[in-house]
Amino acid sequence: MPTDGGSERILQLQEEVQQLKEAVVSHAVVDQAIGMVVALGRISPDQGWAVLKQVSQHTNTKLRNVAETILTWGRTGMMPDEIRAALEDALDRTGPVQLPGTPPER
C-alpha cells in the first residue's frame, strides 16, 4: 500500500502553523517590552529595540526571554540582577536613567 503524501503534508503544515503562532506571540512580547523600555527611558522605539538587543547580547539571553523578564518586572517589580544591570547600562548609553525599585547610588 503506497504511503499517503497528503497526510505527511498536513503534518508539515500543522507544524508550520504552530511555528507561526509562536512567532506572533513572541513578536507581541517583544513589542510590549520595547514599549516599556521606551516609556522608561524616554527614548524612541528604535532605541528601545537597540536596548533590548544590547541586554540580550550582554547577558547571553535570548531576546524574547529578556522581553518576558521586562514584562514580568512590570507586573511584579522583580528582575534578575544581571538583566537589571545590563538594562540600566544600555539605557545609560542612551541617557541617564534609574529603574524604579533600584537602590539609589551612593
pLDDT > 50? residue 1: no
Q: What is the mean pLDDT of residues 22-38?
A: 91
> pTM of the predicted model, to two decimals?
0.74
pLDDT of residue 106: 52
Poorest-pLDDT segment among 19-28, 36-45, 49-58, 80-89: 19-28
Q: What is the mean pLDDT of residues 73-81?
A: 94
pLDDT tier, 96 (very low <50, low <70, confident <90, very high otherwise): low
User: What's the 3-state SS for the chain?
Assistant: CCCCHHHHHHHHHHHHHHHHHHHHHHHHHHHHHHHHHHHHHCCCHHHHHHHHHHHHHHHCCCHHHHHHHHHHHHHHCCCCHHHHHHHHHHHHHHCCCCCCCCCCCC
pLDDT > 90? residue 6: no
